[in-house]
Amino acid sequence: MWHNARMSRDGVDVCGNCGAPLERDEGDRCRWCHAGARPRTPRARRDTAGERLRANRKPNWRVAAGAVIVVFVAVVAGLVIAGTVVSSEQSGPPRATGPARPGTGQGVPPGSTDLQNLQQDFGPWRQLVGQETGTPALLLLLNGTVQASTRWTISSAASTGWTQDLGGNVNSVTLSGGRAAITDADDVHYTVGVGQAFVVASNPGTALLIKPGGTVMSMTLAQATAMRQPLRK
């Protein structure tokens, strides 16, 4: 009877009949028990290894699906966090601003640096009512109100640098005694004193003046600042 050789736990081919290490005689029989002994087929060993290799190469779909889910959850979480940050920045409380400087009027257009400088340099101011002109104080015409400097005046003398205004700062002039009813470039009505310096808020870089004949005169605010005089108490 012929027996196939088998592999022991130590990896050694042994006789399939007696279990002794496989040593065959000239007749291909086990040297120890003399039973027919067929050696193990190397091809079968290679096939087994190949099958194991193919089995190891099979994709693990569960692992791949789990990885995709993890990546998706991370992307969604990142988008949610980014949206929360943007929303909090847009809906946050308004930025705090410093207190208004003393002597400045209401209705100052945002970014009107020249107007703010004028209000600070020639303030403090007091608001006039009715036909009051506060002569000879410098006037500020702002949003339909007339404000008079409580500290400064600008001389109306011809030698001080006044020239005829060609900038269209005053649309109309109506004289009445020592007063002049005027309209500015926006057709807002004001009353000023004849020969009294004033500034229109829409053009804070220019000082204006109405001569006795109704002519509108002007000079730059820088010139007016250089020649201003304190009001007499």
Q: Which of 233, 224, 232 is nearest to 155 (CA)?
A: 224
- Structurally, how many domains does the chain consist of? 2
Residue 77's pLDDT is 80
- On the question of pLDDT at 98 being above 50, the answer is no
Residue 128 inside a domain? The answer is yes
- Cβ atoms of 176 and 210 within 8 Å: the answer is no
> Among residues 20, 39, 57, which one ends one of the domains?
57
Q: Give pLDDT tens digits for 188-215.
A: 999 999 999 999 999 999 999 999 999 9
Of the listed ranges 51-55, 112-116, 123-127, 172-176, the least confidently predicted one is: 51-55
Residue 72 in domain: no
pTM: 0.53
Whether 32 and 130 share a structural domain = no
Using the predicted structure, report yes or no on whether residue 108 has a pLDDT greater than 70.
no
Sign of the alpha-carbon torsion through 91, 95, 96, 101: negative
Q: What is the pLDDT of residues 137-156, one digit of tens each?
A: 999 999 999 999 999 999 98
Domain limit, last residue, from 38, 57, 76: 57
Least confident stretch, 14-18, 67-71, 89-93, 158-162: 89-93
Q: Residue 160: what are its φ and ψ, rounded to 5°?
A: -90, -5
Q: Which residues contact 34 (CB under 8 A, 6 or more apart)?
A: 25
The pLDDT assigned to 103 comes to 41
Which residue range forms the structural domain that includes residue 198? 113-230
| Rounded-to-integer distance, Cα 14 and Cα 5, Å | 6
Weakest mean pLDDT among 13-27, 91-105, 195-209: 91-105
